[in-house]
Amino acid sequence: MPDFVPSPDSGELAAKLAEARRKMAALDLPRPLAARLHRRFIAICDAVKAPGADEASGERRLAAFLAVLERGARGTTGEQEHEQAGPNRCGVRPDGR
């Protein structure tokens, strides 16, 4: 993905979006998680660009996304908590079934 450098007059939100994109690209995440985070980032960008978009709402969504990225950098995104636990390498599920 090419680097995005916002123009000086494009605003603080654009700079924050560019920084979030750089942080996301720097993380070494499993492909499914990286894909989910990328889709979430694109959704935030699309919402910010929509006609009549509320900048404060975009700031809140971006702040929440950056918090997830920060947890991802530490290896604890919380994204996996919503997935059903499957069998481990031995074929045993975490719940013993």
Inter-residue contact 36 to 68 (CB < 8 Å): no
Q: What is the pLDDT of residue 7?
A: 45
Is 50 part of a structural domain of the chain? yes
How far apart, in whole angstroms, are the C-alpha atoms of residue 6 and residue 62? 16
Q: What is the pLDDT of residue 71?
A: 84
Closest CA to 82 of 48, 44, 33, 34: 33
Q: What is the pLDDT of residue 82?
A: 44
Is 28 part of a structural domain of the chain? yes
Query: Count of domains in the chain?
Result: 1
Name the stretches of the chain with pLDDT < 70.
1-10, 75-97
- Residue 59: domain span: 18-71
CB count, 10 Å around CB of 12?
10
